[in-house]
Amino acid sequence: MKFRIADVELESRFFLGTAGYPSPEVLRQAITAAGVQVVTVGLKRQLAHGAGANGFYDIIRASGARLLPNTAGCRSAREAVTLAQMARELFDTNWIKLEVVGDDYTLQPDPFELVKAAQELVNAGFEVFPYCTDDLVTCQRLLDVGCRILMPWGAPIGSGQGLVNPFALRTLRARLPDVPLIVDAGIGSPADAVQAMQLGFDAVLLNSAVAQASDPVQMARAFKLAVEAGRIAYQAGIIARQDMAVATTPVTGQPFTL
């Protein structure tokens, strides 16, 4: 199941957020149970609580996972670019999950500020993972300014609604067949992760569905298996839906296709 993203070869197609866990120890166990190789961290949150608080970075380093800093909480391109530059200095990585909020109620990304920030960061040598909606035109504009990866939402962040617009996501996959696509935000259960992977997406990123579960460690394991199952099903080829019943056992002819 190996795949390449941002010139890095990975085995796990499950990316995990690190916010809101009951304790650092539960976070550590969840990362292990998930088998993830990429974890995200909100720089604003870490700065607010003090860098390195509660051994957070020790947990990440011990896990061996790559760190994907994000610009969560930013509301303008200028603010996001500044935070990304800080993240590169602090974490010694050019990877950045770019978030620019456009609406306080839905936390929907601002497409104009997002594209503006993405272009500036790409020109500055960043590998930009833009958190965007499932709008095809916005996604194309992000690719036009140099993004090589897209992270369209499944639903508003933290809502747990699952994939509210599978049609739009299928369209993205069909129109952008060679672009790494990661469903990010809104996933509520492992079934949602299976659905995303069966649509042909390259990976899934989530946080709240694990961190806020009654048992985050077991839920992390459940999502690990769901992502793997969904990817295998996609590769195996899922049968087309039919409007009418189709007999599975023929009453005439040969029982096997030769």
Which residues are catalytically annotated? 97
CA distance 86 to 42: 12
Residue 52 counted as an annotated binding residue: no
CA distance 236 to 257: 18
Residue 158 counted as an annotated binding residue: yes
CA distance 207 to 233: 24
User: Are residues 96 and 121 in contact, defined by beta-carbon separation less than 8 angstroms?
Assistant: yes
Tokens representing 206 are: 């989530």
* CA 36 to the chain's CA centroid: 12
Which residue's structure tokens are 């960061």?
121
Give start and end residues of each alpha helix (H) in the chain: 24-34, 43-49, 56-63, 77-91, 111-123, 136-144, 166-175, 190-198, 208-211, 216-236
Residue 207 counted as an annotated binding residue: yes
- How many other C-beta atoms can be found within 10 angstroms of the C-beta atom of residue 143? 16
Residue 54 counted as an annotated binding residue: no
Taking each helix axis from N to C end, the angle separating 216-236 and 190-198, rounded to the nearest 10 degrees, works out to: 20
Residue 55 counted as an annotated binding residue: no
CA distance 235 to 250: 27
CA distance 115 to 152: 14
Name residues whose C-beta falls within 8 Å of residue 79's C-beta, 6 or more positions apart in sequence.
71, 100
Tokens representing 155 are: 């639903």
Question: Where is the binding site for 1-deoxy-D-xylulose 5-phosphate, in residues?
Answer: 158, 185-186, 207-208
Binding residues, as ranges, are 158, 185-186, 207-208
